[in-house]
Amino acid sequence: MFAEENGLKGDPRLQAISQAVRVVPNFPKQGIMFQDITTLLLDHKAFKDTVDIFVDRYRDMHISVVAGVEARGFLFGPSIALGIGAKFVPLRKPRKLPGEVISEKYSLEYGNDCLELHVGAVQPGERAIVIDDLVATGGTLSAAIRLLERSGAEVVECACVIGVPDVKGHCRLIGKPLYVLVEPRQVDKCSRCEVDSSFG
């Protein structure tokens, strides 16, 4: 569900967050309009508002685990975890985590990838949220959910800054509620780009 439909209708923070994301056409390949959140991180107010919106949502939901997907989930997850008093758990690409791990494969457009979670990081019965910068197909989030559930946690919701409007489809795919702040933009009306031409 979008933040706007869920209590934040007309919230001016959402428009500023949307405009702080830069669209980079044809990255990593032709036809993809890449939603670049690095410009959001340069806008202190918009970045802080992003974290605050998630913290306000989850603070009273008794969440004890915030799981962030490598690497852009690491940019948002720890601040949210600190804000709600939860642990932060990184979900990583293979062979990055040094201790004993559990692994979950997931499909890419071409081929597979894999996410890992440290054994012992999450306990049965813990209430968890999964954070990433963007949800596209939902494949990564699905793998994240499976890892947490294999550890016995209850995944309460997945939260992303950006998501396509096919929200019902996503919920079916990942089987969990999904909370998204803004839609992807097609053209570059990035507020930072208007200010700084070197950022074209």
Q: Which residues here bind other proteins, judged by CB under 8 A?
A: 22, 24, 27-28, 34, 36, 38, 41-44, 47-48, 51, 64, 70-71, 74-76, 78-79, 81-82, 85-90, 92, 95-100, 118-121, 123, 126, 196, 198-200
Q: How far is CA 162 from the centre of its chain?
A: 8
Q: How far is CA 95 from the centre of its chain?
A: 22
Contacts of 101 (CB under 8 A, 6+ apart): 116, 117, 118, 119
Name which of 96 and 150 has its Cβ closer to other proteins. Answer: 96
Smallest gap, in angstroms, from Cβ of residue 175 to other proteins? 25
**DSSP strands (E only) in the chain:** 22-25, 33-36, 65-69, 87-91, 101-107, 112-118, 127-135, 154-163, 178-182
178-182 and 154-163 beta bridge pairing: parallel
CA distance 57 to 195: 32
Nearest to 160 by CA among 64, 27, 21: 21
Name which of 73 and 139 has its Cβ closer to other proteins. Answer: 73
Q: Identify the active-site residue in 72, 92, 126, 146.
A: 72
Let me know if 5 is a catalytic residue: no
Name which of 80 and 141 has its Cβ closer to other proteins. Answer: 80
Q: Identify the active-site residue in 5, 13, 95, 109.
A: 109
Smallest gap, in angstroms, from Cβ of residue 132 to other proteins? 13
How many CA within 13 A on the CB side of residue 2? 17
Smallest gap, in angstroms, from Cβ of residue 3 to other proteins? 19
Name which of 6 and 123 has its Cβ closer to other proteins. Answer: 123
CA distance 44 to 72: 17
Q: Assign residue 7 a region: left if phi > 0, alpha if psi is -120 to 50, beta otherwise?
A: left
Smallest gap, in angstroms, from Cβ of residue 43 to other proteins? 8
Let me know if 183 is a catalytic residue: no
Smallest gap, in angstroms, from Cβ of residue 169 to other proteins? 25
Name which of 164 and 171 has its Cβ closer to other proteins. Answer: 164
> Which residues are catalytic, by number?
72, 109
